[in-house]
Amino acid sequence: MSSNRLRTLVVVTHPKPTSLTRSALKRIIDALDAADVEFRLLDLDELAFDPRLTRHEAINHLGSPDDRPDLAPHIEALRWAERLILIHPTWFSGQPARLKGWFDRVWMNEVAFELPDGATRIKGRLRQLRRIDVVTTMGSSRWINWIQGNGGRLRVNRTLRVLCHPRCRTRWTVLHRVDNLEPDDIAAWLDGLPARLDLDRPATAGPTTIDS
C-alpha cells in the first residue's frame, strides 16, 4: 500500500522551539499537507505530556484503558494510525523522557498488547499499524552510536514493531554529528526528508520497499 494512503500519526518532542527537531517537524508537516495525507499530530511538549508512570498505572498495568481517561486522546490516535512518524532528538543513546514515557503509558494493555488468560507472552494488538518512521538527530557519529548499542533503534525495532502488523516496517532517518555540520549540510538533510519518507510520491504509487 502506498505510504500516502496510510493514516499517519506524527509524534514529536523537543522542548526548544528553535531546535532542529522542530525544523524537521515543519518540513514533514508541510510535505504531508502537500501530499494530501490524512494525519494527526501529537506534540508531547505542547500537550505537557507527563511521562511518569504513576503508582496506580504500575499496579494496574493489566487493567483497562477505560480507567485512564486522561490518556484517551493518545489511545484513540494510536488505534487510528496506520503509520507512525516519531520525530525527536537522541539523548543518552535513546528517546527523550517524554517519548519513552509515551511508550510506557500509552502502549498499554488492551491497546498495544494483550495477555490472554493462562498465557505467559503478550500478543500485539496494533495490527493496523504497518509502518514506523523515526526521524532523529544525534551529536555522536554513527560509529559511536553503534558502540553504545543503538538503544533507541532496538526499542523501536525489537519492542514496538512486534506489537504491530506482522509486516510492519521501520525506517530510520538519522542526522549524525549535528554539532559539527555546516549549515548547508543541515539544510540538505531537511530538504531531503520528504523523499526519505516517500512523501514526494503520488498517492497512486505502488508498494514501497522499506529498509529495516
Tens of pLDDT along the chain (212 residues)? Answer: 677 789 999 999 999 999 999 999 999 999 999 999 999 999 999 999 999 999 999 998 889 999 999 999 999 999 999 999 999 999 998 999 999 999 999 999 999 999 988 888 899 999 999 999 999 999 776 777 777 767 789 999 999 999 999 999 999 999 999 988 999 999 999 999 999 999 987 554 333 333 32
pLDDT at 206: 35
Instruction: Provide the β-strand partners of residue 156.
Output: none
pLDDT at 203: 52
pLDDT at 1: 62
d(CA 164, CA 64): 19
CB 129 within 8 A of CB 168: yes
pLDDT at 91: 94
Nearest to 31 by CA among 10, 16, 13, 58: 10
- What the block records as the C-alpha cell of 166 is 506482522
The CA-CA-CA angle for residues 158, 102, 156, to 5°, reads 15
CB 145 within 8 A of CB 178: no
pLDDT at 142: 74
| Strands 131-137 vs 123-124: parallel, antiparallel or unpaired | unpaired
d(CA 58, CA 205): 44
The CA-CA-CA angle for residues 25, 28, 33, to 5°, reads 125
Q: Domain spanning 3-196 has what CATH number?
A: 3.40.50.360
